Amino acid sequence: MGMIKKPDGVSIVGNPACGDIMKFYIKVDRKKGEEYIKDVKFQTLGCGAAIATSSIMTVIVKGKSLGFAKKISKTLIIDALGGLPQSKIHCSVLADKGLKMAIEDYCRRRK
Amino acid sequence: MKNIYLDNAATTRVAPEVLNVMIPYFIKIYGNPSEYHKMGMDSRKAIEEARGKIAGFLGTKAETIIFTSCATESINLSHKGLIEAMGNKFPRKVRPHIITSSVEHKAVLETCHSLERKGKASITYLPVDRFGRVEVESVEQAVSRDTVLISIMYVNNEVGTIQPINEIGQLVQRLNQNRKNPVYYHTDATQALGFLDCNVDNLGVDLLSFTGHKINAPKGIGVLYIREGVEIKRQIDGGNQEKRLRAGTENTPYIVGLAKAVELVNIRKNNKVRKLTSFRNILIKELLKIPGVKLTGDPEKRVPHIVSVIVNGVEGEGAVLYLSELGIYASSGSACTSTDLAASHVLTAMGYSESESHGSIRFSMCDKTKKQDINYLVSEFPKVVEKLRKMNPIYNEK
């Protein structure tokens, strides 16, 4: 949880359904020719599930390759948390979207 | 681990005195009250004694009290039962008209929606001011020739605002002097019972509902008061129980327990009002010291046990969860806490935006709340707020 001072990619996503907002910061580096997420932080305004999904997302992707991170689905997030009630599934969708948008932001900046 | 329960507006513990009077009716005096043997008659006697006690508390006769399973059921019975009893009194294209408020409990709102959907009634949902109060003038303006029922809650459960029930009662009396078909008047007194005058003649009501589980009786028992002469048709069909107004074998232990709970309300009311009013005022004063915290509901005409606030930059459920870890149990009207993800309809009707409602938190006390509980809440809450604000991506941008 927190901010990264000079992030390589940032995203902010919101859910109009219930007003949750998630912000992701990523720092990307290269190792053996492959890009990976060196550091990742989140900030969230939202319910317990919103905080949990965004938090677990950062745990899942830290140190992993961009390729891996791009393939993450909401199912992986839900499983990592041991399940989510039906009304909170949308939080996992938002966390997934948020992280992917941060990666897209990084790719856009690189060009 | 601390255990500070501040969600008494949602439900309360069963008082030991209530539980104790109930037990014999589970294991010893358990006959069906409709049977004529001793076991049945003893059960019947206990029910009628309980009915008398509750009637006395409301300032009415025993025959006007019907037992249900909860306030929601009482409201369904009252509103649907009244409309059904009207039957053919209305010409075919005209529907009976009901006036209620936009901040009612869902039991009232959904019952009205249901009657509307089925074409059985037309409904006016009165707006409220920013404190959640209904204006008596707006009630009067909404009354038409076809109005049959006005239903306004005594105390709002989310923000604690007290509605002008006496004044509306006087209005109804005045209106009925010049009307062919009278307007009936209902209030739900669930949040008021422990604190305010509930004498049905003082209030001027024809129908009054309340539930036991907010006054230290168990969940599963409620009351509907029906003034003599008011006709309603039963909604649960079956045996002839409750003067053919509500079928189903009577729940003797719960009825006995409810009467005890009402008795305790009577005994403890003055002290409770005094103590909780003082705690409430301290809590409000301390919470408002935190920047970005606003009180919701009427600052003056509010019930002693409810303190409801909105906290800028904090989401209600998140706060409730962090408080819960500290052993403080409160609730929130934020969209995240509702199953349909909609912001509190009460806060919305009062003019709060969705993002403001997001940060709503409610603390509601009971007679067992201690001064040190309030002190602990006051010391911990700012830390919870700070923690959540640090996690908020847009709060830090300000």
Domain limits for position A84: 9-110
Interface size, chain A vs chain B, as Cβ–Cβ contacts under 8 Å? 70
What are B211-236's pLDDT values in tens digits? 999 999 999 999 999 999 999 999 99
Cα B267 from Cα A95, distance rounded (Å): 53
pLDDT band at B254 (very low <50, low <70, confident <90, very high): very high
User: Is some CB atom of chain A closer than 8 A to the CB atom of B392?
Assistant: yes
Q: pLDDT grade, residue B350 (50/70/90)?
A: very high
* Separation in Å, CA of A3 to nearest CA in chain B: 9
**Which residues lie below 8 Å from residue A14, measured CB to CB, with a gap of 6+?**
A20, A21, A22, A94
**A102 assigned to some structural domain:** yes
Q: Compare CB distances from A18 to B313, B314, B335 and report the shortest one's residue.
A: B335
A91 in catalytic set: yes
Residue B392: list chain A partners with CB under 8 A: 21, 43-45
Does residue A2 lie within any of the structural domains? Answer: no
Q: Measured on CA atoms in the order B329, B330, B335, B339, is the torsion positive or negative?
A: positive
Task: Considering chain B, tell me which residue range(s) the CATH 3.90.1150.10 domain(s) occupy.
Answer: 4-11+269-397
CB of A22 within 8 Å of any CB in chain B? yes
The ipTM estimated for the assembled molecules is 0.83
Per the domain annotation, does A37 fall within a domain?
yes
Tell me the pTM: 0.92
Residue A103, in any domain of the structure: yes
Where residue A17 falls among pLDDT bands split at 50, 70, 90? Answer: low
Nearest by CB to residue A44, choosing from B335, B391, B396, is B391
A74 touches chain B (CB under 8 A): no
Tokens of A61: 């992707």
Q: What percentage of chain B exceeds 90 in pLDDT?
A: 92
Q: Which of B321, B334, B391 sits opposite A43 (nearest CB)?
A: B391
- Share above pLDDT 70 across residues of chain B, in percent, rounded to a whole number: 99
For residue A61, tell me if it sits in a domain. yes
Query: Is the Cβ of B321 closer than 8 Å to some Cβ of chain A?
Result: yes
Asked, for residue A50, whether it belongs to a domain, the answer is yes
Instruction: Say whether residue B138 is in contact with chain A using an 8 A CB cutoff.
Output: no
Q: Are B165 and B187 in contact (CB under 8 A)?
A: yes
pLDDT of B333 reads 82
CB nearest to B391's CB, from A1, A19, A90 = A1
Q: Assign domain B4-11+269-397 one CATH number from 3.40.50.970, 3.40.50.1000, 3.90.1150.10, 3.30.70.1050.
A: 3.90.1150.10
Query: Please, which pLDDT band fits residue B341 given cuts at 50, 70 and 90?
Result: confident
Q: Mutation test of the interface with chain B: which of A18, A24, A25, choosing the one with the most B Cβ atoms within 10 A?
A: A18
**B348 interfaces chain A, CB cutoff of 8 Å:** no
CATH number at A92 reads: 3.90.1010.10
Mean pLDDT of A40-61: 94
| Residue A39 falls inside a structural domain | yes
What CATH code would you report for B16-263?
A: 3.40.640.10
Per residue, what are the HEC states of B79-124?
HHHHHHHHHHHCCCCCCCEEEEECCCCHHHHHHHHHHHHCCCCEEE
Whether residue A45 and residue B391 make contact (CB cut-off 8 A), yes or no, is: yes
Residue B325 contacts A, CB cutoff 8 Å: no
Average pLDDT score over residue span B74-80: 98
Q: Which one-letter amino acid corresponds to residue B70?
A: C
- Is residue A20 domain-resident? yes
Q: Judge contact between B21 and B224, C-beta under 8 A.
A: no
Q: Per the CB < 8 Å rule, is A19 touching B317?
A: no
pLDDT at B91 over 90: no
